[in-house]
Structure 1
Amino acid sequence: MPHPQDTVQELSLRDPESFWRHHADLLHWHRKPSRALRRTTKTLPSGVSHPHWTWFPDGEISTTYNCLDRHVAAGRGDNVAIIWESPVTGSKEKYTYRRLLDEVEVLAGVLREEGVRKGDVVLIYMPMIPAALIAALAIVRLGAMHAAVFGGFAATSLAQRIEAAKPRMIMTASCGIEGTKGPLAYRPMVEGAIEKSSFKPEKVIIWQRDQLRWDKPDKLAGQRNWQRLVKSARNRGVRAEAVPVKSNEGLYVIYTSGTTGLPKGVIREAGGHAVGLSLSIRYLFDINGPGDVMFCTSDIGWVVGHCYILYGPLMVGATSILYEGKPVGTPDAGAFWRVVEEHKVNTLSTAPTALRAIRKDDPDNKFFEEVGRRGGLKTLRGLFLAGERSEPSIIRIYQDLLTKYAAPGANVVDHWWSTESGSPISGLAQHSTAGLLAPASPQDAAYKPLPIKPGSAGKPMPGFDVRIVDDEGNEVPKGTMGNVVMVTPLAPTGLTTLFNDEERFYKGYLKRFNGRWLDTGDAGMIDEDGYIHIMARSDDIINVAAHRFSTGAIEQAILSHPDVGEASVVGIPDPLKGHLPFAFIQPRTTPGSNDGPIPATPMPELFTSINTLVREQIGAIASLGGIIQGRNMIPKTRSGKTLRRVLRELVENGVKGDFDAKVNVPPTVEDAEVVTVARGRVREYFEEREGAKKMGRAKL
């Protein structure tokens, strides 16, 4: 008998019309769609034609109504919708569905008075505070679209998004708070971005925070005090009802954080988003409604935050944790586990980089064990990891901890998705009935998720048909590395175009394989059991003497060494083999070991033992061309992705002896100082190597 997840997947691809209409029926429609899917062909101004599709084409829906009004109307207004946890300010606050609806109705009335209309774009540049979520819901309530940008982006990056989105107004705050660094004023970024942009928004609505105020807003520049506007509207009884939009009209625009070129605006269609997201949060994450609590540690500037801090939990009437803090340092590496305990969290969604940070500060898991021993993790049913590949060691460590302290059957689930997909493409479904057409049956009580495979991202989710192809677009056998592509149409949450840029959509996603496949830009394989393994971005594949290796697979081998805590692999040019794998490693941290210098070049014994693991697990052809070691030198984006491209540029420049050459550091980098540290390590390594050559000694 096939596993229920396989049955659900097969049904979603074989009969998408019946499958998705069933799930659409679980939502409130202002105009119910007569069909689920319409396939068409779109012809571009250049004359090129490509497949196009629309979900629920004649339906009309309000996402805000589905997230708020219908729950209050059903008598669940006193249920908690949002819990705000802000260790950086010492604040905690709860919003019931009734209170949240009240706040959204009034703010939507304010925005309508300020000129926002259906179809407009409003840019959100906010920290992780309740006002940010209220803003998004109020914008959507009017039938407008929000474009949320990570709070703290520099003026130039923000200006790019203003240019692209052309928002009627910007909703922002007086400051953000970056961990222990204290308040970060937003005014210079917002005003600087508007000055740099040729497009000028009409208004800037400012939420004043007590930690740092935006003094004397410039009324002539359209700057308005958010709290005063809301107070005035409330006193005058100003409110706004939900405005439905057509299913294929935009809910939000979100800009990808690509490391080159201008950001791409992914537009999320309202109907498909609502249907696909409400399925995914129930089916994959096992958050099914009132009483369930989800803690997603992302930011509302990223797609994960859009989906599983804001819309997903509210769509099903559950409780969402809004967290303003870091996994470590606010105040310590036990912060996440204490939030789980205090609020009886059922599902925790975070990034592998967050767990690495926790492990670095708490290598013996004393905080997890402390909370676990007193029974504080008994409600936790799942720990979900996304954002980049999770090394198997992390999966195994936390699976053992969950088995010991969490709810019976709790799993660590590595899953894979993207800004473009709008919901997970693959994972291990933790709840069976949400994905089945038939009503719940007695057998569902005995449902067991598919077994985890550390290193894999599970199996495809409903509506996503994932394939592996070679560079010519031909499917490859199972277990063979290749380009990860998808069959169109994508599941309902997936993109169908880019905001105001159909040509770029075709060139970026469909052109490479002539419209036959949608190119994800990832490289990986599907194993004999149907599990998907995402190994690297396509441009992170290293070609060694005509053999293709993924950085992820080599990193996995390196991380199996007991003395290595973190690793990032890039290619280094080689005159004989084209490229060789080259590793940046951070030694495993032990208490008290952060003091003292670490030489850039590891001892020969360490190099040999690490290289032996690579040769054993990958093959002799993948032997490393070198290792640089150090602390705090592997740059990441704020969403947790390792910036291998930056390290690769530094190494390529180092080979040439050009250590000061400019490298392309994206605005999404978490800490630009890490790049400076990496640059210094590269210089030290190559200067040592050059010195060794001159002395006639072999130097690794």
Structure 2
Amino acid sequence: MRTFIKSWIPRCVQTLRSPSRTFHGNNRLLTSQLISHYESINRCEKELPEYFNFASDVLDEWARLEKDGRRAASPAFWWVSGEGEEVQWSFEELAWLSRKAANVLSELCGLHRGDRAIAVLPRVPEWWLLSVACMRAGIVLIPGTSQLTAKDLLYRLQASQAKCLISSAPLAAALDAVLPGSPCLKSKLLVGTGSRAGWLKLPELLEAASADHECVRTRSEEPMLIYFTSGTTGFPKMVVQSHSSYGIGFAVSGRRWMNLTPSDVMWNTSDTGWVKAAWSSVFAPWICGSCVFVHNMPQFKAEVIAETLSRYPISTFCTAPTAFRMLVQHDVSRYKFPSLKHCVTGGEALNPEVWAKWKMQTGLEIHEGYGQTETVTICANLKGMQIKPGSLGRAVPPYDVQIVDEHGAVLPPGAEGTIAVRVQPTRPFCSFPYVSLQDNPEKTAACVRGDFYVTGDRGSMDEQGYVWFVGRDDDIINSSGYRIGPFEVESALLQHPAVADVAVVSSPDPLRGEVVKAFIVLAAAFVSHDPEKLTQELQEHAKKVTAPYKYPRKVEFVQDLPKTATGKIQRRVLKNKEWGKA
């Protein structure tokens, strides 16, 4: 597949590397009008259209502007392998290739509008190509991380009743073992090199496919994506997003939070199976006409991140807080990032000390944002806002964000409660909790309190409307009647030079019911220190930095912490171990 796709690389590398990428006159006006149109809908200043399809209404519009010379000659998509191989597509080429891919899915894989397809792929160009192709054909895409186990995949196939499975040769053998348990499956599509019995080969089919394809006229609230997200109990839940909820819903955050324009190059390090890939590697940058940059990078390495930011003209960078923590530990002040001008993060809370170290080492602030799979960006530190380190920022249109109590009543500034979004009398079009949970009425009921959709995250709001994260409802530690959020304790411990990484969970205690326990990865210089003395030192440090009752009464030093494919700490794994549920 690499050889075929590379034959469509546009000849614009030199243009993109040049610092003089600008628009003039009507060109700037036309591109600005396209972005502003969808931003106005996102802000509810214009009505949501009855029909909308991101492929035809956004990507094809950029392709037309590009063809007419109204968009600068820079790629829409730029992929690097890390081993010298690169793929670039313009919007025109993306449109052309995705029309061919849509015909493959419809005519050869036997998929029809509304059918569901699971894609289990790493960061390869075909993931983006097939994502757009599914939009064109009206097929509902279900992204999955390549680290899914056979049991995970079988559950997703059965729960979603997916009719097509898309993957690569290295994963196909493991996937075949579970496929007999999925009677709805009609076809299997193999991406990349290699072959396997019973699997269709995308490279051959794509090369022979026609580029004539009429995009399906999808309704705005017609399903487009499904993500499986873990709940506090039970199996993962399906979250459905519509063509408009993600397709239009990121216009404001793309322009105002990520600070994107048609001349920007956006790099988001998320795995393709995580919803942040849709947020920051598809919809937000492309609705703004920006270039999506992708590094294959099978494993996170701070030195690879730093070298990539130094080598390529990346202007906007997004990665998880854990990754920023690893980067500042690597000391990126040794590097020069000549094009980088804006940094964003999300997915978990960002520790204030990591924010401060990144600014000290790079001169750039990190703009934190917050949202869920069921929503688009709920809160963010938008461009031009005063950033309060440790805050999630303020509400992003069209959301009315409040802190509510257990009955759904709005709490005053400073009071701790549940972060919630107003859904009555009008539900924001880019929130889909009711559709996503339509087969789970108990879960749906638990998501609504009065006029609000409750996120399950606890926080507070200050007088200026900034939201402060405390922790997940199920992560909150209740020790002797004191409710303790793990994030604050972790932040306090991270200020000590001995702590390289940390996760805080509840641990059973016969006297207090539960107490705070810290799992700590030591910095290299402290590994040989006496563990008992170091434990006492860290406990005293925590008492001084945060409220004394929050200090970890139990400390365990570990080699590493359990994390997801995207680098988020899996506190639940540690908590289950503590409570004998592992």
Output the TM-score relative to the length of structure 2.
0.87
> Partner of 2:123 in structure 1?
128
Partners of 1:326 and 1:480 lie apart in 2 by: 42
Alignment of 1:270-419 (within 5 A): 270-289=243-262, 291-325=263-297, 328-329=300-301, 333-360=302-329, 362=330, 365=331, 368-372=332-336, 377-403=337-363, 410-419=364-373
Per-residue displacement from partner, 1:341-398 (whole Å, max 9, x unpaired)? 33311110000122233345x2xx1xx23332xxxx2321221121111111111000
Secondary structure in 1 matching 2:248: helix
CA contact (8 A) 1:77 1:97 kept: no
Partners of 1:128 and 1:642 lie apart in 2 by: 21
CA contact (8 A) 2:250 2:377 kept: no
CA contact (8 A) 2:78 2:88 kept: yes
Shift of 1:569: 1.1
> Partner of 2:541 in structure 1?
613
Q: Which one of the candidate residues 523, 532, 539 is aligned to 1:603?
A: 532
Q: Which one of the candidate residues 61, 73, 87 is aligned to 1:93?
A: 87
The range that moved more, 155-164 or 114-123, is 114-123
2:521 corresponds to 1:586: yes
Shift of 1:414: 1.9
CA contact (8 A) 2:504 2:517 kept: yes
Q: Which one of the candidate residues 180, 183, 208 is aligned to 2:192?
A: 208
Alignment of 1:131-142 (within 5 A): 131-142=126-137
% identical aligned pairs: 24
Q: What amino acid maps onto 1:207 in structure 2? A: V
Shift of 1:157: 0.6
Shift of 1:28: 12
CA contact (8 A) 1:464 1:490 kept: no
Q: What amino acid maps onto 1:86 in structure 2? A: S
Secondary structure in 2 matching 1:458: strand
Partners of 2:401 and 2:513 lie apart in 1 by: 31
2:575 corresponds to 1:639: no
Aligned pair in 2 of structure 1 residues 23, 502: CA closer, same or farther (>3 Å)? farther
Alignment of 1:7-46 (within 5 A): 26-27=37-38
Q: What amino acid maps onto 1:204 in structure 2? A: K
Partners of 2:321 and 2:394 lie apart in 1 by: 19
Shift of 1:326: 5.0
Alignment of 1:551-700 (within 5 A): 551-590=486-525, 602-604=531-533, 606-632=534-560, 634-653=561-580, 663=582
Q: Which one of the candidate residues 399, 406, 418 is aligned to 1:483?
A: 418
> Partner of 1:190 in structure 2?
175
> Partner of 2:60 in structure 1?
69
2:78 corresponds to 1:83: yes
Partners of 2:148 and 2:226 lie apart in 1 by: 17
> Partner of 2:374 in structure 1?
420
2:419 corresponds to 1:492: no
Q: What amino acid maps onto 2:91 in structure 1? A: Y
Partners of 2:467 and 2:34 lie apart in 1 by: 25
Shift of 1:96: 1.4
Q: Which runs of 5+ in 1 are unaligned?
A: 1-21, 38-54, 175-184, 404-409, 431-448, 654-661, 664-700
2:146 corresponds to 1:151: yes
Shift of 1:292: 0.9
Q: What amino acid maps onto 2:543 in structure 1? A: R
Q: Which one of the candidate residues 206, 217, 220 is aligned to 2:197?
A: 217
Q: What amino acid maps onto 1:384 in structure 2? A: V
CA contact (8 A) 1:478 1:527 kept: yes
Shift of 1:78: 4.6
> Partner of 1:502 in structure 2?
438
CA contact (8 A) 2:257 2:367 kept: no
Per-residue displacement from partner, 1:239-262 (whole Å, max 9, x unpaired)? 312122111111111111346422
> Partner of 2:30 in structure 1?
none
Partners of 2:396 and 2:113 lie apart in 1 by: 32
Q: What amino acid maps onto 1:117 in structure 2? A: H
CA contact (8 A) 1:385 1:412 kept: yes
> Partner of 1:454 in structure 2?
389
CA contact (8 A) 2:408 2:450 kept: no
Secondary structure in 2 matching 1:301: coil
CA contact (8 A) 2:39 2:251 kept: no
Aligned pair in 2 of structure 1 residues 471, 618: CA closer, same or farther (>3 Å)? farther
Partners of 1:287 and 1:563 lie apart in 2 by: 38
CA contact (8 A) 2:498 2:523 kept: yes
Shift of 1:82: 0.7
Q: Which one of the candidate residues 208, 227, 250 is aligned to 1:232?
A: 208
2:408 corresponds to 1:473: yes
Q: What amino acid maps onto 2:85 in structure 1? A: S
Partners of 1:370 and 1:25 lie apart in 2 by: 39
Figure out how many residues of one structure are paired with residues of the other and give that number: 542
Secondary structure in 2 matching 1:261: coil
Q: What amino acid maps onto 1:92 in structure 2? A: E
Partners of 2:293 and 2:211 lie apart in 1 by: 29
CA contact (8 A) 1:388 1:641 kept: yes
> Partner of 1:119 in structure 2?
114
2:97 corresponds to 1:103: yes
Partners of 2:75 and 2:179 lie apart in 1 by: 37
Partners of 2:74 and 2:50 lie apart in 1 by: 29
Shift of 1:224: 0.8
Shift of 1:328: 4.3
Per-residue displacement from partner, 1:539-573 (whole Å, max 9, x unpaired)? 11111211111111111222222221222111122
Partners of 2:297 and 2:508 lie apart in 1 by: 40
Output the TM-score relative to the length of structure 1.
0.73
> Partner of 1:45 in structure 2?
none
Partners of 2:538 and 2:200 lie apart in 1 by: 58
Q: What amino acid maps onto 1:640 in structure 2? A: G
CA contact (8 A) 2:369 2:381 kept: yes
Per-residue displacement from partner, 1:299-357 (whole Å, max 9, x unpaired)? 2211110121122222222101122105644xxx3222332233311110000122233
Q: Which has the larger radius of gyration?
A: 1
